[in-house]
Amino acid sequence: MRPRFFVHLSLVAALFGAVACHEDQIEPEPEPRLESVSVSATTLVLAAEGSVEVPFRVEDPGYAFNYSVDDPKCQVQLKGKDGKTPTEFRISRITPGTTRGTYTAVLTDLGLGKAYSREVRLLVGNNNYLSSVSYMPSAYFEVRSEKSGEETPVLNTGLPIVYVDTKNGWQITSKTTFVPGTLRIQGEGGYEGLEAVNCEIRGRGNTTWEWPKKPYLVKLEEKQKIFGMHKHKRWVLLANFMDRTLMRNLVSMKVASMTNLDWTPGCVPVELVLNGKHKGSYLLIEQVRVDNHRVNITEMTKDDNTGDAVTGGYLLELDFHYDNEVQWGDPHGGCVQWGANGGIPFGVKYPDPDDLTSQQLTYIKKYVYDTAEAIYGDNFTDPEKGYAKYIDVDSFIDYWIVFEVMGNHELGNPGSVFMHKDRGGKLVAGPCWDFDWGVLSFRTSSQAEYDLLNDKAIWYARLFQDPAFRAKVRARFQELLPELQKIPDYMDECEKLLTESAKLNFQMWNPADDASMNGWQIINGDENMTFHNAIALLKENYKKRLDVISRKL
């Protein structure tokens, strides 16, 4: 239309005389053009004669088109990859959203009783083409029937299958925003299943969230008992993306359970099917939370600000990522490389930031400071004035042994290191969590092949200067050694359990892609091996660790 407009101006100029051009002459607004069509859903599940919403957006937001589905001239179409309109479902209506350029298409099942799974896309008419109507496509998304979801995919790995379906097939794109959905479990291998329950799901993790195989946090609407573990709302699905053996976390939790640590998360390998698509082998594990059956410490209120009440309970996390809302750097121990404030990075996981009072924060920060002062003080070996006054020594020894046996250097990094303190009690080490990065890998920690790995980690650097502490560590390790020597047999059991799952998992995911987060160097060193060869190396390294610790303690 623009050429006609300027011709019209030239005719006016000819009739009424030349018109002087001014610098402030206003150009007409350009007509909105259709630049793109985007759809937020990837998989949608349709019940028989049911409907689902498909939010979509057009750019330029001001672009106008006919979206009345009852009008023969409607400019929105639904097409499959074969270019045909699907016959099992249709667009029943389209409504504009509250934000300019946003719309919602409603898809409705036509009640034919067929099982289907179709990849389709929305097409929006482009009015800028004058000779014929052209269409701008969205990306493809999947629409499947509920009946189809029950039949596919077919999984016979022997592991329980966890099915998660988000509302309208919405994508999980955030570590902070939950997406509503349902979760059900098909029991296999002697495990009980779970009927569909309402849940919310979001992403989790730091580096692990950046990899293509995503880890998830699931929050159930009501507490559920899963795989014999105690009832709870919150569960984690660990992706184990970088782990060619698929068992580093599983084996580490087994080792931790052999100790006297207050609590070790229970876990079971599963297959995850998310919105009808198999996502591979996952580890369903109890999330670290304050609860009677998890981190069992006194639950605090905002009124617990004085006397004995303010002394607990607290759950702390030491993590160099500094991603806790309440955190600080303790300057003791020469750990100045960590954190904005320098020192060991402490964060409060419980009470929650919204519930934590200033008095409670002041108390736990001072307790941590006083603990470090005692550890690094002149009288640090004194049983009444030294470190034993502030920490549960036996728990710190067991915690160290788990990290040391598994060759996990993140006790000294530190990352995902936990401590907790109950009301009136001392600081207790644990629980164990997150044992995939560099565990039993001499590539990541070459020192682990011939020496102790964590005797210089955080406060342990000072604790090991006490001959009595070192003697207690040696005695406790020797006490645990007969059980620890059974772990290679446990690895053999895990290998049999995970073999079929591993075949499918590694058809979808390549652990060597973890190099993208590590200067283009693979992390554990076994990412390019076969599943079975990687486990053989894991067992070999584990046996070496037991030998090294026995000699070096």
Per the prediction, the chain carries an average pLDDT of 89
**DSSP designation for 333:** G
Asked if 213 and 241 touch (Cβ cutoff 8 Å), the reply is yes
Q: Is position 416 within any domain? A: yes
Q: Is position 495 within any domain? A: no
**What's the rounded Cα separation, in Å, for the pair 457 and 333?**
9
**What's the rounded Cα separation, in Å, for the pair 398 and 41?**
47
Containing domain of residue 112, as a range?
A: 36-148
**DSSP designation for 351:** S
The CATH number linked to 135 is 2.60.40.10
| The dihedral sign for the CA sequence 402, 404, 410, 414 | positive
Which single residue is written with the structure tokens 């050429």?
Answer: 3
Q: Is position 392 within any domain? A: yes
Say how many domains are in the chain.
Answer: 2
Helix (H, G, I), strand (E, B) or coil at 177: coil
Q: What is the pLDDT of residue 553?
A: 96
> Which residue among 457, 484, 511 closes a domain?
484
Q: Is position 140 within any domain? A: yes
- Asked, as a colleague might, if the bond just before 353 is cis with ω within 30 of 0, I would say no
pLDDT in tens, the chain (553 residues): 333 333 343 333 333 344 444 445 555 667 788 899 999 877 888 888 899 999 999 998 889 999 999 999 899 999 988 788 998 899 999 999 999 999 999 999 998 877 788 889 999 998 654 445 688 999 998 888 876 544 446 788 999 999 999 998 899 999 999 999 999 999 988 899 999 999 999 999 888 899 999 999 999 999 999 999 999 999 999 999 999 999 999 999 999 999 999 999 999 999 999 999 999 999 999 999 999 999 999 999 999 999 999 999 999 999 988 888 899 988 775 443 444 445 889 999 999 999 999 999 999 999 999 999 999 999 999 999 999 999 999 999 999 999 999 999 999 989 899 999 999 999 999 999 999 999 999 999 999 999 999 999 999 999 999 999 999 999 999 999 999 999 999 999 999 999 999 999 999 999 999 998 888 999 999 999 999 999 999 999 999 999 999 999 9
Q: Which residues, 6+ apart, have CB-to-CB distance to 222 below 8 Å? A: 197, 233
Apex CA 550: angle with CA 544 and CA 551, to 5°? 90
> Which residue among 484, 505, 523 closes a domain?
484
Q: Is position 419 within any domain? A: yes
Please provide the size of the chain in residues.
553
Q: Is position 101 within any domain? A: yes
**What's the rounded Cα separation, in Å, for the pair 66 and 196?**
40
- Helix, strand, coil in percent for the chain, rounding step 5: 30, 25, 45
Q: Is position 155 within any domain? A: no
Q: Is position 118 within any domain? A: yes
H helix or E strand, kind and range, residue 492: helix 487-508
> Which residue among 148, 182, 197 closes a domain?
148
